[in-house]
């Protein structure tokens, strides 16, 4: 989509960020007492809450896998999370995001330890401002740790993209609306494995490689913020 807005001028973006700068991120864990694990995350203007339940017996029974647990991530955007009220309930977009997040998380969890079980990850987007799948997946990683689910690593996500011929990290709302490409990824930071990679728009091969490197670096930065939130929570609990 074309716009009259200048997304990139004098080396700076609309919100004053440098090309490789993330929006502000704040993570808090253990925020819901009825859930087994939870996380509240703010990423720029995104506000996301995640509640994890399980491992528990998968219901209905025909969904059970006798060899491993299944991961049911359910991504939902609240009706009031966007400027135009969003019609409540699942739609194609939320089903797609739920599926890719379930698969990404499933790669990190030791699923074979919990045959016939399901691990339910409820991701509620309270406010959306582009990049909600990355925000939701990152919060889910922290909530899974809080729930004590054994994992190989804490999955983390971040996007890079292209605006006005410039590759940039972590697109904001106008950049997402009027930019030319968005590349959200999720990784396992310890092994460097890519757990999710999606792209819309168009980039050259070189721009794609630059964007991928930038998104991977972004993931590592976000991973440090995840770990800090977890450490802070458990240090506080120990001190209580």
CB-wise, 111 or 219, nearer to ligand CDP? 219
Number of other CB atoms surrounding residue 103 within 10 Å: 14
Sign of CA dihedral 137, 227, 222, 79: positive
Contact indicator for 125, 46 with CB cutoff of 8 Å = yes
Number of other CB atoms surrounding residue 89 within 10 Å: 8
Contact indicator for 220, 188 with CB cutoff of 8 Å = no
47: contact with ligand CDP by CB under 6 A: no
CB-wise, 90 or 148, nearer to ligand CDP? 90
CB-wise, 68 or 74, nearer to ligand CDP? 74
State the binding string over 90-109 for ligand CDP (x if CB under 6 A, else -).
---x----------------
For the bound state, the minimum distance from the C-beta of residue 201 to ligand CDP, rounded and expressed in Å, comes to: 10
Among 13, 23, 86, 107, binds ligand CDP (CB under 6 A): 86
Among 176, 193, 197, 221, binds ligand CDP (CB under 6 A): 176
State the binding string over 119-138 for ligand CDP (x if CB under 6 A, else -).
---------xxxxxx-----
Q: How far is CA 58 from CA 121, 122, 189, 221, in A?
A: 13, 15, 29, 35
CB-wise, 48 or 117, nearer to ligand CDP? 48
For the bound state, the minimum distance from the C-beta of residue 78 to ligand CDP, rounded and expressed in Å, comes to: 11
DSSP characters for 220-239?
HHHHHHHHHHHHHHHHHHHH
- What span, in angstroms and rounded, lies between the C-alpha atoms of 12 and 129? 19
Interface positions with ligand CDP (CB under 6 A)? 82, 86, 93, 128-133, 173, 176, 184
């Amino acid at each position: 989509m074309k716009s009259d807005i200048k997304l990139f001028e004098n080396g700076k973006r609309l919100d004053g960020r440098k090309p490789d700068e993330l929006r502000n991120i704040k993570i808090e864990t253990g925020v819901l007492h009825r859930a087994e694990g939870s996380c509240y995350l703010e990423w720029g203007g995104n506000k996301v809450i995640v509640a994890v339940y399980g491992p528990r017996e998968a219901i209905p029974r025909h969904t059970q896998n006798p060899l491993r647990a299944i991961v049911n991530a359910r991504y939902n955007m609240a009706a009031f999370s966007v400027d135009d009220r969003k019609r409540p309930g699942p739609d194609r977009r939320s089903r797609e995001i739920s599926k890719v997040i379930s698969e990404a998380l499933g790669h990190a969890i030791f699923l074979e330890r919990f045959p016939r079980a399901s691990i339910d990850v409820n991701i509620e987007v309270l406010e959306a401002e582009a990049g909600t799948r990355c925000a939701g997946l990152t919060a889910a990683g922290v909530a899974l740790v809080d729930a004590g689910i054994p994992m190989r690593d804490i999955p983390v996500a971040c996007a890079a993209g292209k605006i006005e011929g410039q590759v940039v990290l972590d697109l904001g709302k106008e950049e997402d609306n009027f930019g030319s490409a968005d590349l959200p990824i999720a990784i396992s930071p310890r092994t460097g494995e890519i757990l999710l990679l999606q792209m819309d728009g168009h980039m050259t091969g070189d721009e794609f490689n630059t964007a991928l490197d930038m998104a991977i670096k972004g993931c590592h930065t976000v991973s440090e913020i995840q770990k800090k939130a977890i450490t802070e929570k458990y240090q506080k609990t120990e001190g209580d």
